[in-house]
Amino acid sequence: MYTEILLALVLGGVIYFLLQRSKKHQLKSEDGWWGVGNPPEREGDVSIRPYTVQTDDEELEDLYRRIDQTRPTSSLEDSQFNYGFNSHCLQKVVSYWRHDFDWRRQVEKLNKYPHYKTNIEGIDVHYVHARPTNLPEGVTAVPLLMVHGWPGSFYEFYGMIPLLTEPSNPGDTVFEVVCPSIPGYGFSEAPHKKGFDSVCAARVFHKLMKRLGFRQFCTHGGDWGWLVTTNMAQLEPQIVRGMHLNFAPPALLGLTTVLSLLLGRRFPKLFGFDDVDVQHIYPVFQNLVVETIKESGYLHIQATKPDTVGRGLNDSPVGLAAYILEKFSTWTDRDFRNLDDGGLTRKFSMDDLLTNVMIYWTSGCIVSSMRFYKENFSKLEQPHSKMPVHVPTGFACFPNELVHTPKLWVEQKYRQLKTFTRMARGGHFSAMEEPLLMAQDIQNFVKTLKKE
């Protein structure tokens, strides 16, 4: 009798676990107000206004004056980028910025695609909206929302936009692309109140897409864009048709993840690990702990006291460039830390790198962009962190990403993982570094959605 009762309890526990695991929870979020003062009694202006990126002599003269007054410092001998941005290399970058970089020409490039602003929850949200110009008869473009991260911007996607809106392969999907700036980044207004986190950004972007008339759409995200688009899928899974990611750190060390860490090196096939997974994970202490510590100092600052260091960066263009561009070196390939020039122009042009810096400089958004860390890390546990995603998902696994995420770990969070692609090359800023590879993977993922 005792054995039967025990068996019934165990069986009941297993059934309860499976039911809870399969239960599709939906994230809840209430409307917010991020403008100055109290919210109005009635809804304000909901119009969509064209926006043009501009510059003038006064802006450039102020920039040049500040660059000319910078105080150089010396790097240690044989230090390369292991102490941060190498000062000797920085002087060359600054010289190019001051004498050769043409911001006016880059502004024209930024305005190649239409920009707009619209007010949502009290703040102006900026976005680029690129529509296909030669849509074949009978073909409907698939709406695609692409969300950037830090220290990137909407400009990261400029190399991908023509590949998605005007694909060369007749059998490829044609996309209508929307690239917003996260509030507090680039040309989106910064929230004026505390508490604007990834869930708030997700809610705002849902409102943006609804205002544009989209009933369903796909998403793509890396860095913070991963979390914002994940939250969008958790908020309204019936609206997000599919989501594509290139960054998905393991949310929690669940039992499956822990077991895979402990036993994966010895029994890799048991957890679906291949040679690449084993190489990137083991030894665990060196690859997951030491490397994380080396590259996460910025995170601790921005998650605790962003306004302190942010004020200095907002005053100094050279300091801002060093702070941002160092990430485009070490996050692209950790081995670039051992190069005198940080490998900056091995994967990016200096014009593109400085254009991203100028978006931060001219908009004065570095402090508000860093506050996004404070808001997202202010609570030890968020409801969405334990909530699985049931929206069809595609994942592009780039070899030089900051955090290597095996397929098993991705599946713990994203229960409808449709594609998992080992990418041939690329790091954290893969949309900007490898636009063709990323566009092709998005194409392949969306094709799987059409077959269903």
Q: What residues contact residue 448 under an 8 Å CB cut-off, 6+ apart? A: 392, 394, 418, 419
Active site residue 373: yes
Residue showing tokens 């957890």:
271
Active site residue 277: no
Assign 3-state DSSP to the chain and report helix, strand, coil percentages, each to 5: 50, 15, 40
User: Per the residue annotation, which of 373, 384, 404, 441 is the catalytic one?
Assistant: 373
Residue showing tokens 């009290």:
122
> Among candidates 154, 161, 149, which has minimal Cα distance to 117?
154
End-to-end CA distance of the chain: 49
User: Are the C-beta atoms of 146 and 219 separated by less than 8 Å?
Assistant: yes
The strands making up 48-51's β-sheet, listed across from edge to edge, are 48-51, 115-120, 123-130, 175-180, 142-147, 217-221, 240-245, 393-397, 417-422
Q: CA 54 to CA 185: how far, in whole Å?
A: 17
Give the containing element (helix H, strand E) for 125: strand 123-130
User: Per the residue annotation, which of 197, 223, 333, 352 is the catalytic one?
Assistant: 223
Q: CA 100 to CA 118: how far, in whole Å?
A: 35
The residue type at 405:
T
The dihedral sign for the CA sequence 326, 329, 330, 335? negative
User: Per the residue annotation, which of 126, 206, 244, 428 is the catalytic one?
Assistant: 428
Give the containing element (helix H, strand E) for 295: helix 291-295
Active site residue 274: no
Structure tokens at 261: 């860490």
Q: CA 47 to CA 118: how far, in whole Å?
A: 6
- Active site residues per annotation: 223, 373, 428
